[in-house]
A and B are shown apart, each in its own frame.
Chain A
Amino acid sequence: MSQPDDSAILSRPRYGKLSPVEANFHVFVADDSGGNSILSLAQSVPKDFFNDAEIIYINTKPVDNKATLEGLEALGCPRLYTGPTIKAALPRINASLERMRMGTQVYLAGSESLLGLATMIAMQVGLDHQALQTEHQGSLARRVQCVHCKGITDNVTTQPANCDHCGLLLLVRDHYSRRVAAFQGVNINAEDPSDIPVKEEMFS
C-alpha cells in the first residue's frame, strides 16, 4: 500500500500530528477516525481550550464513530457541527474559514480526501497551506484528476483506475495539485489500449 512518506514526488502531501498552538481561536475539521486526533490533542490542553474553538466533524459511519462523537461532544466546544459526508460539509467549512480572523489555528484530521479538500478551501480564502496543521487518519482513497479530460474521480483505491468521465484507464500518480485537491491520473495504455494492466488495490 502506498504511504505518504514513500513518495519521491515533492508535491505529494505529507501530514504531521496535530498539536495545540497559541492562538486566539481554533477551528478543527475532521472526518471519521480523524475525530480521534482531536480527542488525543484534547488530552494535552487546558480545560477551557475548547471554549474558543469550533469543530466540524464529518461522521460517515455513525455506528463505528459513536464513541468518537460522544468524546467530541464532551469537549464542551460552543460550536460542534456534524455532517454526513464531506461533500455536505464543504459549504460549512468554507463559511467557517471565510469568516475567521487571522490568529485562528486550523487543524485538519482524517481521510486524505478531506485533508485535500479542506486545504483547498483554506487556500481559497487566502491561507497558506503551510499555515494549516494536518494529520492523516483513515482512508487513503484518492481524488484523481484525469489530465486528459480534467474530470475528477473520487474515492479511487486501485492502480490503475478508470476515469469516471472519459473512461480512460489512468495511472494514478503521486503528482498532486493543491489547487484542485487531486492526484493526477495519466492514461496508462495510450499506445495500445488493448493492453489492460490488472487493477490492484493500492489506496485503501
Chain B
Amino acid sequence: MSSNATLDVVVSDVVTVNSLIKRFHFVRPDGSPLPAFSGGAHIVIEMQDGDTIRRTPYSLMSSPLNTTDYQVSIRRDDEGRGGSLYMHQQVTKGMPMRIGYPANLFSLDKRAPKQLMFAGGIGITPFLAQIHQLLKTNGNFELHYSARNEKLGAYVSELKQLIGHRLHVYYDDQDQRIDFDNLLSTQPAGTHVYVCGPAPMIDHVLTRCKAHGWPKAHTHFEHFAKAPPGEPFTLELRASNKFIEVGENQSMLEAIEAAGVDAPYLCRGGACGHCETDVLECDGTLLHEDHWLEDDERTSSRKVMPCVSRFKGQRLVLDR
C-alpha cells in the first residue's frame, strides 16, 4: 500500500537563479512551520499537468533549521518528459500545490570526523541544506563544486559567504577540474564522501573511490533517475486484474496510478527501492533505469522499478 501522506502548500516565491535554474518556495497556507527534515532530504512535488499528474523528487536546499518554508531549485530540462518545464512555465507565486513529506536517502553520517562533498551543477542543492546543518553542529567538511561556467554556478557567492575557504569551485569553461584522485587519497581516517551531480560524475567518483580502496559504507551518492520517454506499451496488472496502457511520456508507475491502483513509492527516482515490483511474465526486454536492483535481479527479468524503468516487447505482467 502507498502510505504517502501529502502536504498542501502554497508557492510563496519563484526566483530566477540563472538562465536554467529557478528556485521555488513553499509554505503552509496558514503559515505554520512545515515538518522537520534533515540535510539531504527530498520532497516529491505533485504537478497537475493537464490530465496527467506528475510526481517528481527534488532535494530540499533550504536550512533544516528553518522550516517556515521549503526551497527547491529546479534546472530546466528541455529534453525531459516535462516535469521541470511545467515547474518553470506553469508554476507561479500564490499557486496552491501538493508535495510529499520529506524523506532522506542522502543523509550525513554524523559519526564521521570529516565530510567530503562533491557537487556537480544542480547537484549542489542537497549540500546547501547539509551545510546549514553542519555549520550549526560545528561539523568538519569541505565542498568541491563543479559547474559549467560562472553564470551557471548557482549559489557560489552565497556559499563563499557562508563557508569561505571550505568551498572549492571549478568551472569547466576555465578548464578547472576537481582532482578526485588527489582528494580521495589524502583524507583522514573516518572521512565520508558524498556526491551529487550528473550520472557520469557520480559513476566516476564511485569508480575512483573503489580504486582507492574506500569502503562502500563511507561513500554516498544521490541521483534521481528520470523516467525516459519511450514507446507506449500494454501492461497487465495481475493482482488488480487490469490491462493498462503506458503512454510515451508516462512512467509505468504513473500509468498504474492513473488506473486507480495504489502502488508504493517514495523517491520516484529509482533510488529508494520502495516501488520494487515482481515481474510475473515478461516476453520482451525490461529497460532498467534505476540504481536500486542488483545486476542479477536486472538480468533475471523478475524485478522492476516502475518509477523509472520501461519495457519493450510483447507482453509484461506485474504482481500489482
Contact = CB atoms under 8 A, between A and B. Distances in A.
Interface of A: 21-25, 97-105, 123, 125-128, 130-131
B98 to A, nearest CB: 38
Contacts of B215: 105, 127-128, 130-131
B141 to A, nearest CB: 13
B213 A127 contact: no
A101 B213 CA distance: 10
16 contacts: A22-B210, A24-B212, A97-B189, A100-B189, A101-B185, A101-B187, A102-B213, A103-B185, A103-B214, A123-B111, A125-B113, A126-B113, A126-B114, A126-B191, A127-B215, A131-B217
Question: For this complex, into which size category does the number of interface residues on chain B fall?
Answer: 20 to 34
B160 interface: no
B218 interface: yes
Given A102-B191, A102-B212, A103-B212, A130 B217 contact: yes
Contacts of A99: 189
A25 B212 CA distance: 9
Contacts, number: 69
B contacts with A: majority SS: loop
Contacts of A128: 109, 111, 215, 217-218
Contacts of B113: 125-126
Given A102-B218, A126-B113, A128-B218, A22 B213 contact: yes
Most buried by A among B109, B187, B190, B210: B190
Nearest to A97: B189
B269 to A, nearest CB: 25
B186 interface: yes
A103 B189 contact: no
Given A22-B210, A98-B189, A126-B190, 20 more contacts: A21-B213, A22-B211, A24-B213, A25-B213, A101-B187, A101-B189, A102-B184, A102-B188, A102-B193, A102-B212, A103-B214, A104-B189, A125-B189, A125-B190, A126-B112, A126-B189, A126-B191, A128-B217, A130-B216, A131-B218
